[in-house]
Amino acid sequence: MTKIIFLGTNGWYDTDTGNTICILIDSPLFTIILDAGNGIAKLDRYADFNKPAYLFLSHFHLDHIAGLHTICKCKFQHGLYICGQQGIANILNNILEAPFTIPAKDLPFDLQFIEFPQQSDLIPFSVDSLPLLHASLTMGYRFEIDNSVITFCGDTGFCDNAVRLAHKADLLITECAFRQGQENINWPHLNPETAAKIAKESMSKRLLLVHFDAEIYKTIEERQLAQEVARKIFPDTIATVDDMTIDI
């Protein structure tokens, strides 16, 4: 059985409602991590470090990578592969370096980078990636793991590529930074209605909302209101919270 564990569900910054975004896919054969916000600091509570580990980054906004400075405490027995858009090695080697944090070469495990789509054949399971709609290049991912399809759309506005990646997905995990009716064409994000629209048009089976903007969603109750709005369009919707576990 594959478990989805939400280590961080906030967007932008940490609050009492949660840490910035990080999601663990604990499959029988692999440890798969989605984004590296401050929630990744909890990884050692949940992850099996004896399995090969792959971290997929949607993009490089700080709330999606700020937790990387904590990975030095992880005991990846087979090393860690960080996967993302072209140029990921150059970008992260400038961040995983003094004076910001422990340099990548000094981590207590082997660290390698995999660029999409050029090196996608280096991944030992099925994964597709397409660019989404955001202020900077952001990648969405579609995984086929343990006979299930899991789609992850980080920061994005509504776009055809999100629908394509989520086609008949067993689980669609997508952001919900904005409240009902809110939008900004210069800073694209989803609200409950547009997230649900992606799920409905893609014929996904279940929708999980994550990456709630910390300035907009100040309470868990506000997330639950977003859940209610989304369920009017796509009934099988859950607004996630930190440490929530979903079996698939």
- By the 10 Å C-beta count (0-12 exposed, 13-18 middle, 19+ buried), 163 is classed as buried
**Cα separations (Å) of 108 from 11, 26, 101, 166, 232?**
29, 22, 13, 36, 48
CA atoms within 13 Å, Cβ hemisphere of 23: 31
Rounded CA-CA distance 162/167 in Å is 9
**What CATH number is attached to the domain comprising 118?**
3.60.15.10
Verify cis geometry, omega within 30 degrees of 0, for the bond prior to 103. no
pTM of the model: 0.98
Give how many domains the chain has, as a whole number.
1
What angle, rounded to 10 degrees, do the helices at 192-202 and 220-231 form? 40
Strand partners, 6: 23
User: Which residues, 6 or more positions from 86, have their beta carbon under 8 angstroms from its beta carbon?
Assistant: 115, 116, 118
pLDDT of residue 117: 87
Give every residue of the chain whose pLDDT is below 50, as ranges.
none
Classify 229 as helix, strand or coil: helix
What range does the domain containing 145 cover?
3-247
Structure-block tokens of residue 29? 């054969």
- The string of pLDDT tens digits covering residues 230-243 is 999 999 999 999 99
Rounded CA-CA distance 116/102 in Å is 26
pLDDT of residue 71: 98
Residues 21/38, Cβ–Cβ less than 8 Å: no
- Strands 126-131 and 53-56 come out as unpaired
**Cα separations (Å) of 64 from 135, 195, 229?**
14, 19, 26
Rounded CA-CA distance 201/222 in Å is 25
